[in-house]
Amino acid sequence: SYSGKGGKSGSGYSSSTDSSSGSVDNNQDWAGDGWIGGGDEDTTVPSHDDGWNSSPGWNSDGWDNDGHYKADIDYVRSHVTQLINDSDRKLIPKFLRLGFHDCIGGCDGCVDMDNPDNKGLAEPIEAIYPIVRKFEESYSRADIWALATLVSADLAVVDGRPHGYHFPMRHIGRKDCSGADVTGVGGPNVDMPSNDFTTHELLAYFKKYFDFSTDETVTIMGVHAVGVAHRENVGFGNEGDEQGGWVFDARSYQLNNRYYDMMVGDEGDLVHGAPAWHLELVQNDGDIPNRYQWYHEHQERRERPIMTNADIALVRDLKDHMYVDRNGNEGAVACDFKLEGGDPYGGYERRRSLQGGRVACPVASKTIEKMVEYKMDNEMFLYDFEKVLEKMLKTGYRER
C-alpha cells in the first residue's frame, strides 16, 4: 500500500552534479545476475499483458531473475547504463539524487520543480523519460526511476567491489502521483531536509520520512562521496569553477567510504587526526540564498572539497553553536571543527575561517562511532548502503 506525500517545501539539501573523470568497464556484470552493461543488446521493448498494475510487490531475492520480469529489467538496466556512459558518468549522482527526492514522503514518480530545492533535477527526469514512455503500459514511472537509482549506485561501485555485490530490483508496484505531467514534473510539495540540520535534527528528519535508524542515516549520507555540488542549483560550491565535491576526486563518481575518511581521524586520534575543515560564506546571486559551507584544503591537492553543516553534524554537534549572522545569512557557526596548535589552519594555504572564537565544536556522540566504523571498513559500508538504499526506495510501501 502507498501512504502518499504530504508536508510543505523547506530548504534544500542534496546537490546536483557536473563534470566527470574516471571510466567504467562496459562489460562488467554490474547487476550480479548475468546482465552485461552496454553491448549490442536486443532493443525490442519487452511487454506484459497484465502490466504493472498486478502489483507484484516485494521479492527478497529481487525480480531480476524472475522469468516474468527479467527481460524488462535487463532492458531498463542496459539503457540506463547507456545513458550514464554517454554522459561520461555525470548522470550517476543525478539519478541518485532524483531517487532520493522522489521518495521523500513516498516514492511516487513525481518532483515539484517549482520547489527551488529540486533545481537541477530536470536533466535526469528528461533523460529517463524515453524509457518511462516505452514502459508506460507496464510499469509505473516511480518503478523506472527507482531502477535507474539502483543502476546508478551499481555503476558507482568500481574499486573495492565485494564479490557478488549488486543492487537487485526487489520491489515492483510503486504508484505514480496525480497532478504531475507525463514526465513526472508536478505533484505535491514535500518537506525537504535542511542544509543546516544539527545532529538531532538530521536524525529526526530521516526517522520521520524514511524510518531510518541513527546508523542508517549515517549510511545514506555516504552517497555524498558520489556528488558534486553546483552553485547555480543549490548555492554550494567553489568560486571560480562553481563546483565542489564532498571528497577528493569527486568527479570520478565512485561510491566508497571516502566520505567518512574526510571527516574522521585515525583510531588513535579521531578528532584532532581528522582533516581540517573551515567555515566560509558563499555569496550567491539571484534567488539562491548565500550559503555557509565548510571547506578543506591540502597544499598538495588542487581540489577543494566542501561540506554542509548537515554533513559536519555527523561528527560535530552544532547545537547551540549555529546562528543567523548580522546580515541575515543562516548557518553561521561559532565553533571550530578542531583546534590545532601553532597555525590554527594546520599549514593549509587559505586563512579564511569565519569563526570568531577558538572554541572547538563538541563531538557528535550519537553518530561518531558509526562514522569511524565506515572509515575503517569499506566493505561494511557498501553492504549496509545497498540495504539502506533499498529501504529508501520502498518508502510508503509495505513488503508483501
Over residues 149-155, mean pLDDT: 98
pLDDT band at 302 (very low <50, low <70, confident <90, very high): confident
Mean pLDDT, the chain, rounded, equals: 83
pLDDT band at 242 (very low <50, low <70, confident <90, very high): low
Query: Around 303, how many Cα atoms within 13 Å sit in the side-chain half-sphere?
Result: 13
Q: What is the pLDDT of residues 338-359, one digit of tens each?
A: 976 533 333 333 334 444 456 8
Neighbour-count burial of 387, counting CB atoms closer than 10 A to its CB (0-12 exposed, 13-18 middle, 19+ buried): exposed
Q: Determine the pLDDT at residue 115.
A: 92
Over residues 56-74, mean pLDDT: 90
Q: Determine the pLDDT at residue 272.
A: 80
Over residues 130-159, mean pLDDT: 96
The residue type of 148 is A
34, 136 in Cβ contact below 8 A? no
pLDDT of residue 276 exceeding 60:
yes
Over residues 232-250, mean pLDDT: 81
Of 120-124, 302-306, 377-381, the range with the lowest mean pLDDT is 302-306
For residue 191, what is its C-alpha cell? 518537506
For residue 319, what is its C-alpha cell? 547545537
Q: Which of the two residues, 108 and 27, has the higher pLDDT score? A: 108
Q: Determine the pLDDT at residue 340.
A: 65
Q: Determine the pLDDT at residue 56.
A: 75
3-state helix/strand/coil string of the chain: CCCCCCCCCCCCCCCCCCCCCCCCCCCCCCCCCCCCCCCCCCCCCCCCCCCHHHCCEECCCCCCCCCCCHHHHHHHHHHHHHHHHHCCCCHHHHHHHHHHHHHCCCCCCCECCCCHHHCCCHHHHHHHHHHHHHCCCCCCHHHHHHHHHHHHHHHHCCCCCCCCCCCCCCEECCCCCCCECCCCEECCCCCCCCCCCCHHHHHHHHHHHHCCCHHHHHHHHHHHHCCEEEHHHHCCCCCCCCEEECCCCHHHCCCCCHHHHCCCCCCCCCCCCCCCCEEEEECCCCCCCCEEEEECCCCCCCCCCEECHHHHCCCECCCCCEECCCCCCCCEECCECCCCCCCCCCCCCCCCCCCCCCCECCECCCCHHHHHHHHHCHHHHHHHHHHHHHHHCCCCCCCC
pLDDT of residue 191 exceeding 50:
yes
Q: Which residues contact 85 (CB under 8 A, 6 or more apart)?
A: 24, 26, 37, 38
Over residues 241-252, mean pLDDT: 82
Q: Among residues of the chain, what percentage have pLDDT more than 70?
A: 80
Q: Determine the pLDDT at residue 381.
A: 98
Calpha distance 134→80 (Å, rounded):
13
pLDDT of residue 37 exceeding 70:
no
The residue type of 265 is G
pLDDT of residue 83 exceeding 90:
yes
Calpha distance 59→294 (Å, rounded):
42
pLDDT of residue 283 exceeding 60:
yes
Q: Determine the pLDDT at residue 192.
A: 95
Q: Which residues contact 346 (CB under 8 A, 6 or more apart)?
A: 276, 340
Calpha distance 301→298 (Å, rounded):
5
With CA atoms as reference, report the closest residue to 246 among 196, 193, 295, 292. 295
Q: Determine the pLDDT at residue 16.
A: 38
Calpha distance 331→236 (Å, rounded):
12
Q: What is the pLDDT of residues 173-189, one digit of tens each?
A: 999 999 999 999 999 98
Q: Determine the pLDDT at residue 241.
A: 64
Calpha distance 250→168 (Å, rounded):
25
The model's pTM is 0.83
pLDDT band at 243 (very low <50, low <70, confident <90, very high): low
Over residues 145-169, mean pLDDT: 96
Q: What is the pLDDT of residues 87-137, one digit of tens each?
A: 999 999 999 999 999 999 999 999 999 999 999 999 999 999 999 999 999
pLDDT band at 20 (very low <50, low <70, confident <90, very high): very low
Calpha distance 52→169 (Å, rounded):
14
Over residues 3-17, mean pLDDT: 38
